[in-house]
A and B are shown apart, each in its own frame.
Chain A
Amino acid sequence: MELKVKRVPIDESEVLEIRCHKVTDDVQEIISFVKSRQGQLSAEKDGQSVEIPVIDVFYAEAVDNKVFLYTSKDCYEVRLKIYELEEMMKGKKFLRVQKGLILNLMKVKSIKPALSGRYTALLKNGEEVVISRKYVADLKSTLKGGD
């Protein structure tokens, strides 16, 4: 695919146009990335495409090669790999807390011990998510203001 970047005057609105023969998975990935940069994620629920504001996502989890977004009450499937989603969510208060789970730190109500160096994050919707021992150091660093 050829890539073109054209500068436009300040009074003209910025447009990102993708011209393709077919909306493939790669194209869909680019669309998802752009939308995530604008604070939206493209997802599916019951075969319908929906846009989810990133700030509404509590956590994202990979289950059997599929990735699901969990909001306060709903669950949506997103056509991305968990590492791609993690990359997109960088700088958006999301942190990987399990091998296949990315957590929105803004949706965590409190944290309590879960034995053996693990912790449980109690979310604002009442759900609980386990923080693996392996990712506790990252959590401490992020909460203290590190990356």
Chain B
Amino acid sequence: MKLKEKIGEAFRLYFILVTLITILLLILGMLLDGDRTFSYEAFLSPLIYAAIGVIPVFFFNGDKEVTMKGLVVQRLIQLIMVEAAMLGIAFWGKSIDTDRSEVVIGIAVGVAIIFVLSLVVEYLFELSISQKLNEDLQRFQREED
């Protein structure tokens, strides 16, 4: 995959992640720390976390073809990388209370859910592209017959 294509894919994934992380922060915040208030800087969090989340795009989208099994392994490694990065940043920045283990579990599960949801959104994008491809294919076959 060329760098231009990687940047395009990273941008697409970035905006999906920003949306999903914002929803996750809303749900986790309401469940675990509903009384807390933040300044406007809190709006930066989804943008920063999403930026971390797109980093694997630049490492895992080479030109080499991978099998379905290889793809699953790739995705699992990506998930572990993203989990480690997100948890690392969350605790390193001391933005959460490390004594509350449910917060750690909440973030870890939340990151995994977002990861899966981003794959679902990606699949839905590709599904809409495949529908267009099928329409074009049928037209192509009619014209060529």
Interface of A with B (CB < 8 Å)?
93, 98-99, 105-106, 108, 110-117, 119, 132-134, 139-140, 142-145
Contact = CB atoms under 8 A, between A and B. Distances in A.
Contacts, number: 52
A134 B63 contact: yes
A93 B144 contact: yes
B133 interface: yes
Given A111-B133, A115-B71, A133-B1, A98 B141 contact: no
B137 interface: yes
10 shortest A-B CB distances, which residue pairs?
A: A113-B126, A143-B136, A111-B133, A143-B140, A111-B130, A113-B130, A112-B130, A113-B127, A110-B134, A111-B134
B65 A111 contact: no
Interface of B: 1, 9, 61, 63, 65, 68, 71, 119, 122-123, 126-127, 129-130, 133-134, 136-137, 139-141, 144-145
Contacts of B129: 113
A68 B140 CA distance: 26
B133 A116 contact: no
> Interface residues of A: mostly helix, strand, loop or mixed?
mixed
A113 B123 CA distance: 7
A119 B63 contact: no
Nearest to B133: A111
B119 A140 contact: no
Most buried by B among A113, A134, A140, A144: A113
Contacts of A145: 140
B144 A106 contact: yes
Contacts of B65: 98-99, 132
Contact of B137 (A98, A108, A133): A108
Contacts of B68: 114
Contacts of B130: 111-113, 119
B137 A111 contact: yes
Contact of A140 (B123, B127, B136): B136
B133 A105 contact: no
Contact of B126 (A98, A110, A115, A142): A115
Nearest to A143: B136
Contacts of A142: 140
Given A117-B9, A143-B137, 4 more contacts: A110-B134, A110-B137, A111-B130, A119-B130
Contacts of A119: 126, 130, 133
A110 B104 CA distance: 45
Nearest to B64: A99
A105 B126 contact: no
Contacts of B145: 106
Contacts of A93: 144
